[in-house]
Amino acid sequence: MRTALLAAALCSITAFAAPKNPVVAFFPPTSNDVRLQQLALLMEARASELVEETNKVSELHLKQTLRVINEEGFASDLRLEGNVEALRIAAGADRAVAFSLEASGDQLLLSGVTVDGKKPKPFNAKLPKAWGPALEQGSVALAKALLAGAALPKKTTAQPTSSNDEALQQLGACYPVVLRQPLSVDTPALVDGAELERAVAACQKAVELDPSLRFANAVASLGQSILGGDAAAAKSLAALGNADDVLEIYTLARFWLLTRYQSNEAGVAFLQDIIKRHPGELIARAYLGDTQFALGAWADAEKTFQAYVALAPSSPWAQGRLSKALARQGKHTEAIAAAKKAFLLSPSSPETRLELGSRYIDAGSLAEAQETLEPLSKLTPPRGEHLLRLGWAHWLEGELDAAEAYFTRAVDTATSPGEWRTRGRAAYDLALVEAKRGRTREAAAQLKAAYATGFKVKELDPSLAAAAKEMERADMEKKAQSPAKTVTPREASLFPVNAFGDVDTGAKKPPAPEGLILFRF
């Protein structure tokens, strides 16, 4: 009898358990007009805040969606419903909205589609041409489409909003540039300084035109932080308050400055506080986990990504990050299981395949790693990092010819400015191959090519000692005394970067810029 009652109670709990909040996402808007695309991005930003205010969803920030598009090499037309559905799956969202904004006579036409794995639901709205009212009406239409029937708050503080069209147009010129900056926690990110400086100036102009446009202050602060203008960033941020933490851009800017100047612990505590108050803000969870990665706090990162996966079980990215946290603790069986889950969620994804192959390498299962990674070498075009990882699996197996072939292809493929480390690492690995063959002169040439990219290692592999001596001593001394002469792209990094190109989380913090409000925890 007692067993029956317990079973009934458990069934009752299951029946009345609150359903998981859906994971939702807006995708980048399309338009044939650059200015209208800028307005559409502002609509998306405000709609995102409206959606978050309901507390009924877990939401992917547009920066997270852009990361998925970049990593997956997704170039399909988002005006086609099938492509929108494919991106929804890759992003791990339960529901997503893609939309476009075009001129239509004396009005604007907002048209889009909501996808959720079932029948796509098209929608459209006619909007006025004036930016202020178009922004407000368009953002409401987008939020309603993403929420699929859930009511919006009757009162809202959602940003951006303004009655000054010129201010919004300046913000429109600024926001897309800052938005697409790749803000990586554990690796430096490539920066186009001139473009970003122009964007920040446009945001500052927007604030001059409408001081109530808090969103512009937040965007300016993040842009200034990326540029290294932290005094200006702190000043822009000081115009905002704790209530503005609903603005994800504010969250990122404040996190960046606190971590850079107060302490690593302050940055982590700030993100944890944001997550407590805004549990559905998935970008805060992503940055928290990645910061714990950078700090080597693998057990903490595991907990963070376990919590992320609980909210977003269909996220291949979160499953992949969880697998890495497990692997770094030596939990290889669990790590491979998590990576397999990510791969099953998105089997056509190059990133989930790369994660699974990497977990096999971590576990020493080199044959499985090679089998998993081999299809990546056949992509058109292939990626240098993929070829480098596959070559390393062959190197560890002692298969020098195969390793050399993939390392060489990695050098030839990693040609973009942001891939200089991949190019340098591949040349260094080729030096290892030549040293293993006893070809000291050839190893020295590859080592010199690696150094020429700006790549360095903390400790030279012992097998390359003879190759290093083979290199001209004068040339080596010149590089040691004048490292600035090695031309590398301008990069931004949350943490200082040491001489080896690695983030240095233990470096002493510089004095905080005037006006930076410290986080008490």
d(CA 294, CA 6): 46
Confidence (pLDDT) at 7: 40
Confidence (pLDDT) at 21: 92
d(CA 163, CA 176): 20
Q: Could you tell me the pTM of the whole model?
A: 0.89
Q: Phi and psi at residue 27, in whole multiples of 5°?
A: -100, 160
Show the tokens assigned to 482. 């004048």
Confidence (pLDDT) at 501: 60
> Is the bond into 417 cis (omega within 30 degrees of 0)?
no
Confidence (pLDDT) at 475: 59
Q: 100 to each of 27, 163, 395, 510, how far by Cα in Å?
A: 10, 23, 48, 45
Confidence (pLDDT) at 182: 75
d(CA 173, CA 183): 19
DSSP characters for 77-110? -TTSHHHHHHHHHHHT-SEEEEEEEEEETTEEEE
Confidence (pLDDT) at 495: 78
Q: 266 to each of 282, 308, 400, how far by Cα in Å?
A: 19, 21, 47
Query: What domains sit in the chain, N to C, each tagged with a CATH number?
Result: 20-151 (3.40.50), 279-362 (1.25.40.10), 364-482 (1.25.40.10)
Low-confidence ranges of the chain (pLDDT < 70): 1-19, 187-190, 241-246, 472-491, 497-501
Among residues 242, 226, 292, which one has the least CA distance to residue 265? 292
Confidence (pLDDT) at 458: 82
Confidence (pLDDT) at 3: 39
Beta-carbon contacts of 426 under 8 Å, excluding residues fewer than 6 positions away, are 384, 387, 388, 391, 407, 408, 410, 411, 414
Q: Across the beta sheet with 23-26, what order do the strands follow?
A: 58-60, 23-26, 95-104, 107-115, 121-127
Confidence (pLDDT) at 57: 95
d(CA 489, CA 518): 32
Q: Which amino acid is at 199?
A: A
Show the tokens assigned to 231. 């005094």
Among residues 272, 295, 304, 297, which one has the least CA distance to residue 519? 272
**Residue 221, CA atoms < 13 Å, CB-side half-sphere:** 28
